[in-house]
Amino acid sequence: MTNPTTKPAAPASTRDRLLDAAAELFYREGVGVGVEALCRTAGVSKRSMYQLFDSKDEVMAASLERSALAYQAFLQSSADGRSPRARILHVFERLEESAAAPDFRGCPFVAAAVEVKSPEHPASLVARRSKDALTAFFQQEAERGGAEDPALLARQLTVVFDGSSARAVVQAQGLDGLAVATAGALLDGAGIHP
- Check residue 77 and give its pLDDT: 73
Question: How would you write the pLDDT of the chain (194 residues) with one tens digit per residue?
Answer: 344 444 455 567 999 999 999 999 999 999 999 999 999 999 999 999 999 999 999 999 999 999 998 898 888 876 567 899 999 999 999 999 999 999 999 999 999 999 999 999 999 999 999 999 999 999 999 999 999 999 999 999 999 999 999 999 999 999 999 999 999 999 999 999 88
- Check residue 2 and give its pLDDT: 41
- Check residue 75 and give its pLDDT: 87
Contact in structure between 26 and 60 (CB atoms under 8 Å): yes
0.85 exceeded by pTM: yes
Spell 164-187 as b/e; 16+ CB within 10 A means b: bbeebbeeeebbeebbbebbbebb
Homologous superfamily of domain range 66-189? Tetracycline Repressor, domain 2 (1.10.357.10)
> The dihedral of CA 122, 123, 124, 130: what is its sign?
positive
For residue 192, which phi and psi values (nearest 5 degrees)?
-100, 95
- Check residue 78 and give its pLDDT: 65
For residue 52, which phi and psi values (nearest 5 degrees)?
-95, -35
Domain ranges in the chain? 66-189
- Check residue 3 and give its pLDDT: 44
How far is residue 25's CA from residue 187's CA, in Å, rounded to a whole number?
Answer: 36
